[in-house]
Amino acid sequence: MKKHTSFIYLFFLVLCLYEKPLAQRSSSRFSDQQIVAMTGSYLKRMSGSPEFMGAKVYRHPEKGKIYQIHLQVVRNRETEGLGYAFDTMLALSEYFKKPPKIFIAVLHSNNRSAPPVICSGSVKCTSDHYIKKVITYKDWYNNCIKFEKPTIVADL
C-alpha cells in the first residue's frame, strides 16, 4: 500500500512540474518594442489586410499608454482598414507586459491630396465589441471611437 501511495505522490509531483512551464508559455509577455516589431507580421497573415506602414507605443501624460498603428488603405476601403487596425491592436494587446488604454489607427489614403484618417478608441470598449460581443458594430462605431484631426498625432 505504501508503494502505491508514493507512486501517486510522485505522479502528481511530476504532473505539477510539467504543468508550470506550459502555463508560463501561454501567458507570454513582450516589451513594447517587441509588440511593435510583431505588428507587421501579424497583419501580413490576415488575407486582404491593408499595407502596414508602421506602429508605435507611447505614453501620454493624461491618456496613459497608447498603441498606434499606421496603414496604407485604398480610399473607398477605409472602414475595412479601420476594422483591420483595431482587430490587430486588440489581438496583440494581450501580449503586452502592461496593456495599453487607448488604440489609435492612422489610415493613410492612396490619394496623396487626402489627409490621413485618425481614429482613437478605448481598449475596453473595443474589447466589448470584438471579443465579448456585448455591443454592435454600429454602437462601437458611433459611441466608442472618435475621429481626430491629423495634426494631433505625431509622425512615425
Residue 91 pLDDT exceeds 90: yes
Which CATH number covers residue 111? 3.30.70
41 located within any domain = yes
| Stated pTM of the model | 0.78
With vertex at residue 29, the alpha carbon angle to CA 59 and CA 38, rounded to the nearest 5 degrees, is 75
Domain that holds residue 109: 32-148
Domain contains 9: no
Mean residue pLDDT of the chain comes to 84
- Count of structural domains, the chain: 1
Query: Does pLDDT of 102 surpass 90?
Result: yes
Interval 39-83: pLDDT, tens = 999 999 999 999 999 999 999 999 999 999 999 998 888 889 999
